[in-house]
């Protein structure tokens, strides 16, 4: 993994970044319904689990755009990672707790799915906040609320300098014609505008629609 520092004096986003980091500090979220009708059918035919497929899709979009990989490193320097690794939540039915798990990302879905299965087999039953230790610094957060088809979701972060996106998926439901999945995306306005979140949601939908190309 490599971290590339941003040259503020040459960065076209500098005035926006400074405004939303100093004068009008704010993060914001958007919730949209993802049409997963085709995706679910494909996954069921291939006997592939939905959650790792969702994690893969989100990770692929995050890794496709610099805005979603922009953050501060451990020295407080602004820049972006060359790639990001998903750090996602897993639920323990026995005691109704959750743990955080990370899985090495690959653009090849079958390889990522294999990595996911290996991690779940080795760490899936481990309790505590961190199921798999040695969390890489280039991770971003994904969580799931599979019990609620929410129409909005917001995290109240006290760290005003957390720039990476946070993605939450809900319970998919039928509107009578299609099967929809609520997806919430939280970002910091210093690095992401409405245009960027629309790209995220639209790219996610394209991946769901073109699932036959990557779920093989």
Catalytic-labelled residue, pool 65, 83, 188, 189: 189
Active site residue 189: yes
Q: Which residues contact 71 (CB under 8 A, 6 or more apart)?
A: 78, 79, 80, 81, 163, 164
Residues in the chain: 216
CA–CA gap between residue 136 and residue 133 (Å, rounded): 9
Closest C-alpha to 141, from 198, 201, 184: 184
Phi, psi of 156 (to 5 degrees): -95, 90
Query: Phi-psi category of 76—alpha, beta or left, where left has phi over 0 and alpha has psi -120 to 50?
Result: left
Q: Which residues are catalytic?
A: 189
């Amino acid at each position: 993994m490599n971290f590339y520092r941003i040259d503020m004096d040459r960065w076209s986003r500098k005035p926006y970044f400074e405004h939303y980091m100093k004068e009008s500090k704010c993060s914001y979220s958007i919730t949209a319904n993802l049409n997963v009708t085709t995706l679910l059918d494909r996954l069921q035919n291939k006997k592939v689990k939905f959650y790792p497929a969702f994690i893969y899709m989100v990770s692929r979009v995050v890794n496709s755009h610099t805005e979603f990989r922009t953050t501060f490193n451990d020295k407080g320097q602004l820049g972006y990672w060359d790639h990001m690794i998903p750090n996602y939540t897993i639920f323990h039915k026995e005691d109704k707790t959750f743990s955080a798990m990370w899985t090495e990302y690959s653009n090849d879905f079958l390889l990522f799915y294999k990595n996911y299965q290996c991690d779940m087999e080795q760490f899936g039953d481990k309790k505590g906040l961190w199921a798999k230790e040695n969390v890489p610094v280039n991770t971003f957060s994904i969580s799931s609320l599979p019990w609620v088809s929410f129409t909005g979701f917001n995290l109240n972060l006290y760290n005003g300098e957390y720039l990476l996106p946070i993605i939450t998926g809900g319970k998919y439901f039928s509107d009578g014609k299609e099967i929809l999945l609520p997806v919430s995306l939280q970002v910091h306005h210093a690095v992401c505008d409405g245009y960027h979140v629309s790209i995220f949601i639209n790219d996610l939908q394209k991946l769901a629609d073109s699932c036959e190309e990557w779920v093989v």
